[in-house]
Amino acid sequence: MEAADPFQFVCDQLGEHVKLDRLALRGAVRLALKSAGFEPRGVRPSEMAVVVSRMLPKELTACGVVDPGPLCTRLAAAVSGLSASAAPDAPDAVFRRLGG
């Protein structure tokens, strides 16, 4: 399984299923990530899956997408199947290690 950028993956998949312009879609995903305490860069697939299932529906609804729940559930399952890339140490990983 190849490593992919979870943010890009979700934006691409949403673009295929939702009739919103690219900028609005990416903005919705960014807002969902921000409200969950993440940035597009460095988010892991497992974390993205939770953000997509729990936070993204609200953002998509705000953009006028009707009933985004089922789509987000499918998308969350797909993104959680991505393999995590070998990203450099995120602060949370560093601070976890510092605990011993």
Partner 1 sequence: MDLQMGLVLLLSTAAYIGVGIAVGVRLVRLARRTKGFPERMLGISCLAGPGLVAPCLVVVHAIAEPEALVRAAAFVGQIGYALFCSVMVMFTWQCFRPDEGWARWLVRVSIATVVFSAIVGMARALGLASVLELRDMDHWAYRAIGIASVVGHLWTGLESFAYYGRMRKRRVLGLADPVVTNRFLLWGMVACGALVASGVPLAVGFLGGDSFNDVPTRLAGAAATIFGTVCLQLAFLPPQSYVRWLQKRALAAA
Q: Which residues bind partner 1 (CB under 8 A)?
A: 35-38, 47, 50-51, 54-55, 88-89, 91-92, 94-100
Query: Least distance (Å) from partner 1 to the CB of residue 11?
Result: 20
* Rounded distance between C-alpha atoms, residue 88 and residue 30, angstroms: 21
Residues whose CB falls within 8 Å of the CB of residue 43, separated by 6 or more in sequence, listed in order? 6, 7, 33, 51
Q: Which is nearer to partner 1, 19 or 97 (CB)?
A: 97
Minimum separation from the CB atom of position 8 to partner 1 (A): 18
